[in-house]
Structure 1
Amino acid sequence: MGAKEIAAISSEAASVNAQAALRAKLSGLQKAQQTAAVTKTLPDGRIRYYTQEVPARTEGATRGASFATKYNPVTGSTMQWMESFDYSGNVIRVHPKSINGQPVSAQHYPPTGAELEIMYSQTDLAMDLERTLVEGFDVARVSKVAFKIYQDHGLEITSSMDRALLTLMAMEESEEFELTEPELLALISEIKTM
């Protein structure tokens, strides 16, 4: 598929944003197919294209990395990510890059040391909740702050932090879910010890 074919297909998308995403998806797939050092067809028919592995820039557990593109010919979906390998060739870290041509801004899995240092912690959560009480106890404000934290840091939080935030977000839904101020303070204390 050439540039003219990609342009023709993407112009059929409903909006300018959809056209750009489709164009990015198709050109990314085309580039992956053209530059693949390794191509693997999975048992379910999906195809993975891997670029030539690039050696790690620094010494350590990582031997190198390769850019991977997964294509599902049945659904037409694509996904791209970086895979890092150890010296035995095992995948030790994945960094998502795009889904169907849409860039993904995500951490590495598992997170790097630098990412762990900046991740949202239990202490951060407790401090943010305590700040909401400076202006007095207000169920709606606490619930909205919890929702904002969940939106901003949802990928960084632990399962226990997740449960605490969901409890706080639910307070705005009905009186039966509301915590009293002493119950909120107890929850904040519990968060600090998670």
Structure 2
Amino acid sequence: MIYNKEAIKAFDRVTKLKIINSVTGIKPANLIGTINNERQTNLAIFSSIVHLGSSPALLGFITRPQTAEVGHTYANILENDVYTINHIHQNFIKNAHYTSAKFDVNTSEFKRCGLTEEYIEDFKAPFVKESNFKIGMRFVEAIDIKHNGTKLIIGEIEQLIFPDVAIIDGDIDLEATESIGISGLNSYYSLKKIAKHPYVRIDEVPEL
């Protein structure tokens, strides 16, 4: 099956969303938790979170174009500079999935989707209690992606919380945490570790 640019443009909206969101392969599935100055919480599923650097420890994610219906996550981040990233696990995929609905600003997805707010001392944004792998973030900058109106939101890790069993031989083992992946808009995958190779040094590359 081959699609050229014209054929891709001709897809109906939903087909295009599903296919183009899937072509990069399995992506991390996370919930981003935020709060505004009126203490109204927001929780939304994202599959666009990426590593941007380790020193400082930076992560980025993509927001959709901001409208009255979409954009509560970014608006809350601008108000308070902090947010949380929470891995999704197999036992609450359904709850996490439905946070993607366009709830109004006065509806907390935590309450509506059956998930629990959890707070850590001196950190204002809510974590997801059901998640065992949580990251507390501080906003650094937003970069406009002019071609489609989205933004790359960049933050620095301030809190990192995960179970002891997640560290195996100095590496994080996501299979041990039962974190899951996502493809497209609504397909979820379990993660299974299938190989581990050494850190690559040029004089240690084998014949392949």
TM range (shorter): under 0.3
TM-score (norm. length: structure 1): 0.26
Q: Give the structure, 1 or 2, with the largest relative contact order (CA under 8 Å, sep 6 or more).
A: 2
Whichever structure has more helix as a proportion of its residues is 1
TM-score (norm. length: structure 2): 0.25
The structure that has the greater radius of gyration is 1
